[in-house]
Amino acid sequence: MMAGRELAYTTRRFSFAAAHRYHVEGWSAEENRRAFGELGGVHGHNYTLDVTIRGPIDPETGMVIDLGGLKRIVGETVVERFDHADLNADPLFRGRVPTTENLAIVTWELLAPKLGVDRLWQIRVWEDPTLYVDYRGV
Amino acid sequence: MVEVTRVYHFSAAHRLANPALPVERNVALYGDCHRPHGHNYYLEVTVAGRPDPVTGMAVDLARLDDAVNGSVVAEVDHRALEEVPALRGVITTGESLARAVWRILVPALPAESLRRVAVVETAKNRFEYEGGEG
């Protein structure tokens, strides 16, 4: 067995509270109401974010990733950006409805350059305890 | 492609038994689970799709909710699973329930969209079925 080549998965959980509304600019109020119903009004969620890193276990440290470093990167890149914020006002959601699906994709796009696409395995965004979306970059 | 998972809940009674086997064999096979008992079940249904470029939605959640609530939750909630017509012939283990729910949901959802059915029987027991032959 080659030491340090075995892949393992490490997941760290984060949370942030944010406001959003489902709304397509360029659609009439009636079209928006028909497509999104009550989701068209500004409301918010306590989001939970699970970031999963996949990689070999470092033979020296015994770790896939330094959790302190992961916490700092996700904190600075995602949590500080979205916590107590209006997602619709974020430039990342200009012309992009801040659904849970798109929030998972945007979070991946923010983190992949910092963590590496070879290490970032999955983004899971929980909108509430009954709904979550997974995105793995493809 | 994103995977959207919705969590549903129901409470039901069941007992594990293979009606083709004698009682002693069922007792030996299933132990305490051969006695009628019940669980607060959680049912997780995962569907895959690409977010629509305009609406940002990959899944019609209302349609998913209607399908799961109508075809599964309404049938099993506060019932004995062995008496549910849609589960006739199913030994109601978690894995068999997951497979049964998969088979109920496939025709009710957009083609090829269902990815996984998970039955969470207790905080300690979780069962997943993803279709296919392995």
Catalytic amino acids of B? 33, 78, 121
- A100 touching chain B per CB within 8 A: yes
pLDDT at B134 over 70: no
B interface mutation test: which of A93, A94, A101 has the most B CBs within 10 A? A101
Domain ranges of chain B: 2-11+38-129
Q: Model confidence over A10-43: pLDDT tens digits?
A: 999 999 999 999 999 999 999 999 999 999 999 9
Q: Model confidence over B65-87: pLDDT tens digits?
A: 999 999 999 999 999 999 999 99
Q: Which CATH superfamily is domain B2-11+38-129 in?
A: 6-pyruvoyl tetrahydropterin synthase/QueD (3.30.479.10)
Domain ranges of chain A: 7-135
- B63 touching chain A per CB within 8 A: no
Element (H, E) at A46: strand A43-56
Over residues B49-62, the mean pLDDT reads 95
Q: Model confidence over B18-53: pLDDT tens digits?
A: 999 999 999 999 999 999 999 999 999 999 999 999
Over residues B49-58, the mean pLDDT reads 96
DSSP 3-state of A81: helix
ipTM of the predicted structure? 0.88
Question: CATH code for A7-135?
Answer: 3.30.479.10
The bridge status of strand B37-49 relative to strand B2-14 is antiparallel
> A135 contacts in B (CB within 8 Å)?
2-3
Contact B46, B110 (CB under 8 A): no
The three-state DSSP-derived secondary structure of chain B is: CEEEEEEEEEEEEECCCCCCCCHHHHHHHHHHHHCCEEEEEEEEEEEEECCCCCCCCCCCHHHHHHHHHHHHHHHHCCEEHHHCHHHCCCCCCHHHHHHHHHHHHHHHCCCCCEEEEEEEEECCEEEEECCCCC
Residue in chain B nearest A40 by alpha carbon:
B55
Kindly report the pTM of this predicted structure: 0.92
